[in-house]
Amino acid sequence: SSYDEKALAMVSSLETCAVSYFMERIKEKTGALNMGQSIHQTQVLVVEDHPIMRKALSKLFHEHGFPQVDAVENFDKAVKRMAKGDVGLLVTDTRLPFGMTGIQLTETVRSDDSLPSQPVIIGISSDKSPGLASAYEHARADLFLPKDQALDLPEVAEKLLIQRFKNPPASHSPS
């Protein structure tokens, strides 16, 4: 119907505006960093169910000097991608499809002794629940960041990666 077509056109227009706005903000932030070459080569995995946000986060890392970025939309694909053993930075949304969460993904990765090394893990969410940061901390994520601070992700990730590089964990077994 004509109403459905207008509604779809409006949604498409809003999505285009949102992506354009986010990309402009990325461009404003680009160039503010001067990352070391070894940090640049870190394999990044973004786990985000919303396709526009997944694309925007991937582009954010690309434009800040991280050329190796993979992005998946759910827990199972993330676990499968992590099994390759080369991910150095995992950025995961909290709410994932099929009732899974980024906190569960963090716990799964942290308990995987088959990984050659443990990645830096940053949990993100638009949910403002007060217990999220502590839930990620309990799951042994390196950091929780609200999505409204997502433009800071590359800078924050760089600092965490440098810290990890300087002080690698002795073991990734639970403490």
The pTM for the full model equals 0.76
Radius of gyration (C-alpha) of the chain in whole angstroms: 17
Range in 20-29, 100-109, 136-145, 146-155 with the lowest mean pLDDT: 20-29
**Shortest CA distance to 122 belongs to which of 100, 148, 169, 89?**
89
The residue ranking higher by pLDDT, 69 or 23, is 69
